[in-house]
Amino acid sequence: MPFGAETEEDGRVRFRIYAPAQSSVRLALEGREPLPMHADGTGWHELTTDQAKAGSRYRYLLADGTQVPDPVSRYQPEDVSGASEVIDPRSYAWNDKGWRGRPWNEAILYELHVGTFTKEGTFSSAVRKLDHLAVLGITAIELMCIAEFPGNRNWGYDGTLFYATDSAYGRPEEVKAFIDAAHARHIMVILDVVYNHFGPEGNYMPQYFPGIVTDRHKTPWGQSLNFDGEHSDVVRDYVIHNALYWLEEFHADGLRLDASHAMIDDSPRHILDELRERVDALSNAENRYIHLILENETNIANKLQRDDQGKPTNYSAQWNHDITHLLSAAFGNLCSGKDGAEEETGKLAKALAEGFVIAAQMQGAPLEPHVPPTAFIAFIQTHDLIGNRVFGERISALVPPHQLHAIAAICLLLPQIPMLFMGEEWAATTPFPFFCDYHGDLAEAVRKGRCDQLSKLDPAPSQEELARAPNPQDDATLRSAQLLWDELDQPAHAAWFDWYKRILAVRHESIIPLLASLPDACGTYEVIAPGALKARWIFPSGAKLHLNANLCDRPNTFGPATGRTLWLEGSEDNDNLNSWTIRWSLEA
């Protein structure tokens, strides 16, 4: 990296920081007198010394004596405000030499929060659960943010040191061991990253580099990173090298860019385009699959297009938030008889067959560019969908099992890329409420802000419910979210796991081979009645995949199955699908 602490071949360590607002910067190695750094007149301060080595702890001393951590620290053993530690990235011995990743069409994603995946909440303990994911049929883990955040618990999306793996989860080499072990089981690892704002605690960079953020653009969480103003070249390098850092040093198989709509950039070359080009160059140089995923409030399908062989030419996929119309079905709105039920059914059918209900127009691109279903990630649960309920309940605690089976059967065999939230596969009883670890006035402000956010839910919770909402600052809130793995020993939860394992086996055998070379959109849909729909996908091979879905408490007429039935969830009677019945069939 062009900045930070880099171990040299001769045993010395080079330290480099961009601090244009400081006339001088000194290196403070623990146990030694501060060493002056050379200022080159362009904002950079640098020193190469034999007084440091891997394991040395250090800070930077600003001109007024303020001590700050390295903004590109690889490890913070004493949290965001403590000393940084020199890490030699070459010290870990990798075992995945032959690993080249997996094609995107093979992805079955599993969203995972390290701090609640096991009771210990560490990468070392998570390694012991990888065989469970392999047996289930998972081919890609999506890790919620692991960059250093304040305190011992957080969802991870308010990090302040983008390069440091959070010390609550383990050391950098333990993160690498987890990824190494996943690769040994043919499972990809994709990391969530946040490149739109810094968290409210532990960000010292504006003190010596005010241009890291800008007042010209705002995000809901604070100042935007400065991608298009003075000094933006350094900011862009800071973000792009961070992406390359995770992909090279940690052998990650891809990145998910959280809230990428908030990466605001008015320059001629948008940061999203530059980042993707640099990652493409790495992918080509190392001859391996690297996948970039967008999470975006606008449906920017023009960044999801494919070449003639179906290979992504831009971003691999985007979270398909429109798919949450499935939740309307789960909560009984599609067949309620209310005005708009048929329109809502049409939106769901379109989201299933085509991806986005309405695609955003950007940079003069067509309103709805034709992209294949693999450009969309489908889900019925995510950390947001669960955590933004007052009590963080999972959908399995809110709807009857037969309805949940039906909507899961749609999502898991859909030609879009499916994603599970950890524990979904056994209908885990643990909630996933929002939690963090701030103190003082900031802690109280976050608690009040959380209540204000929850009060705006539709339908709005009562004051009594808000009063009982879990306190994000309470350690018990984190503990309540930690998965109870012994639930798998209970017959009801074991049955759920068996169901998920069997349906994902069908996806591996019958759906994934169809997705290998999809260059274009291939889905159509039809609304049979409110809550009842058909969808069909025609593949380059000529095969036709059919979905008949009756998400109602009464039968609806669909006609006989076309081709071979792959999966029947519920029951059929002649030409009728009975209540909450899903039928997938394949026509050769």
- Which residue carries 């001769």 as its tokens? 10
- Do 60 and 26 touch, CB atoms closer than 8 A? yes
Q: Which of 79, 85, 148, 258 is catalytic?
A: 258
What H or E segment, with its residue span, contains residue 85? Answer: strand 84-85
- Do 355 and 376 touch, CB atoms closer than 8 A? yes
- Do 364 and 370 touch, CB atoms closer than 8 A? no
CA distance 388 to 390: 6
- Do 445 and 404 touch, CB atoms closer than 8 A? no
- Do 415 and 566 touch, CB atoms closer than 8 A? no
Give the closest residue to 570 by CA, choosing from 553, 587, 588: 553
Q: What are phi and psi of 326, to 5 degrees?
A: -60, -30
> 114-139 in b/e burial notation, b at 16+ Cβ within 10 A?
bbbbbeebbbebbbeebeebeebbbb
Other CB atoms within 10 A of residue 573 CB? 9
Q: Which of 173, 295, 393, 465 is catalytic?
A: 295
Tell how strand 544-550 and strand 13-18 pair up: unpaired
What H or E segment, with its residue span, contains residue 536? Answer: strand 532-538
Tell how strand 291-294 and strand 317-319 pair up: parallel
Q: Is the dihedral of CA 551, 557, 561, 565 positive or negative?
A: positive
158 is catalytic: no
295 is catalytic: yes
CA distance 126 to 379: 23
| Beta bridge partners of residue 57, listed in sequence order | 85
Which residue numbers are catalytic?
A: 258, 295
